[in-house]
């Protein structure tokens, strides 16, 4: 049978439509497909929860692809090696407590693991606002990234979720929206965004985990967004804290779902 271009178009539209309709209401909506968001989604979906993940960029993997300064290797400390083992990401020992993995393999395997566990990933979709009832985050307001980039005046769509995870990295974008609309009410020392501090890998890796928690009713922070929100330092291309943060937020949410 000759290939029919219209069937090809119809197949794509039908299948994407199914994904959109199926995720209008979810257990968890994750914003940002970096390492923390992906691993959070993986554990939640593996536990049978309905998870949608929204990523502004075309590519999935956030800041992981580039390793450190585009040297595409990442460092993972011993405390997070069980996560590389669980996912089947290969690594080698560099020194006691320091392990390295290929950044491309890590990002690709993490992405595949999340999708195959059941996370529905929407790339090229940006989160521009939240659904608020009346002072609890209950979902997200989404728009195509190209619409956002072009500055077109197009109204967005809304999705509902029992919980939202801000895994947007240094920008901590979802929290930023909440602060703008409900000033002074975050669960942080200042009630606002305490702001990321300069490089201090050891401290940052510990704090990332401590800072991974609910920051506003219905809204959790994970990964670098947790440190940016609670005033922790940055850590550069060591990724154990990101992975452990994703694992932690999934665990916390599973207790509540
Ligand atoms: O920055 P990112 O990789 O987040 P992460 O999981 O990991 C941080 C590390 O990569 C690194 C580091 C640790 O060693 O410091 O930076 O905390 O991924 C965040 C993703 O969120 C997307 C963004 O494009 C990126 O891929 N993102 C940010 N804002 C939005 C968004 C938004 N409003 N809507 C959708 N996606």
pLDDT tens-digit readout, 212-248: 999 999 999 999 999 999 999 999 999 999 999 999 9
Mean pLDDT of 165-185: 96
Task: State the distance from the centre of ligand 1 to the C-alpha of 229, rounded, in angstroms.
Answer: 14
Ligand 1, pocket-test mutation among 77, 147, 148, 169, most atoms within 8 A of CB = 169
* CB of 130 sitting under 6 A from ligand 1: no
Residues 6+ apart with CB under 8 A from 114: 38, 39, 41, 42, 45, 53, 121
Ligand 1, pocket-test mutation among 57, 62, 148, most atoms within 8 A of CB = 62
> Mean pLDDT score of the chain, rounded to an integer?
97
Instruction: State the number of CA atoms in the 13 A half-sphere of 71 facing the CB.
Output: 9
- What pLDDT sits at residue 53? 99
Mean pLDDT of 98-105: 98
* CB of 195 sitting under 6 A from ligand 1: no
Mean pLDDT of 83-89: 98
| Structure confidence at residue 177 as a pLDDT band (50, 70, 90) | very high
Cα gap 138→98, rounded to integer Å? 40
Cα gap 243→35, rounded to integer Å? 6
- What pLDDT sits at residue 134? 87
Q: Which of 165, 127, 137, 122 is nearest to 36 (CA)?
A: 165
For the segment 40-68, what is each residue's pLDDT rounded down to a tens digit?
999 999 999 999 999 999 999 999 999 99
């Amino acid at each position: 049978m000759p290939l029919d271009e219209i069937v090809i178009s119809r197949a794509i539209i039908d299948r994407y439509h199914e994904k959109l309709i199926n995720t209008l209401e979810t257990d968890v909506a994750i914003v940002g497909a970096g390492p923390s968001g992906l691993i959070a989604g993986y554990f939640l979906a593996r536990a049978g929860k309905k998870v949608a993940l929204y990523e502004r960029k075309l590519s999935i993997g956030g800041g992981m692809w580039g390793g450190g300064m585009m040297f595409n290797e990442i460092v993972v400390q011993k405390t997070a090696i069980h996560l590389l083992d669980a996912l089947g990401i290969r690594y080698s020992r560099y020194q006691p407590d320091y392990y390295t993995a290929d950044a491309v393999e890590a990002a690709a395997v993490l992405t595949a693991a999340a999708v195959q566990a059941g996370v529905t990933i929407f790339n090229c979709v940006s989160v521009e606002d939240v659904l608020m009832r009346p002072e609890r985050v209950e979902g997200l307001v989404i728009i195509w990234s190209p619409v956002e980039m072009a500055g077109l005046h197009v109204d967005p769509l809304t999705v509902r979720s029992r919980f939202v995870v801000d895994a947007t990295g240094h920008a901590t974008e979802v929290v930023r929206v909440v602060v703008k609309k409900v000033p002074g009410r975050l669960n942080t020392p200042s009630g606002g965004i305490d702001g990321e501090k300069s490089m201090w890998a050891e401290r940052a890796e510990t704090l990332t985990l401590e800072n991974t928690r609910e920051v506003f009713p219905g809204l959790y922070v994970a990964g670098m967004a947790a440190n940016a929100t609670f005033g922790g330092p940055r850590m550069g291309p060591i990724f154990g804290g990101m992975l452990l943060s994703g694992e932690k937020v999934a665990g916390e949410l599973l207790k509540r779902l």
